Amino acid sequence: MAGGNQAAAELEAQFPGWHVWPSSAGRWWATRTGTVLDRDALGEGRVMTIDADDPETLHEQLTRQSRLDQAARR
pLDDT digits (tens, 9 = 90+) for 26-55: 999 999 998 877 778 788 899 999 999 999
Average pLDDT of span 59-71: 95
Residue 6: count of CB within 10 angstroms of its CB: 10
Percent of the chain whose predicted confidence (pLDDT) is above 90:
73
Strand order of the sheet with strand 18-22? 18-22, 28-32, 49-52
Alpha carbons 52 and 26: distance in angstroms, whole number: 9
Tally of structural domains, the chain: 1
Q: CA–CA distance from 68 to each of 16, 46, 56 (Å)?
A: 15, 7, 19
The verdict on pTM exceeding 0.85 is yes
Window from 19-23, 46-50, 69-73 with minimum mean pLDDT: 69-73
- Give residue 64's domain range: 4-73
Taking Cα atoms as reference points, which of 19, 46, 51, 15 lies closest to residue 32?
A: 19
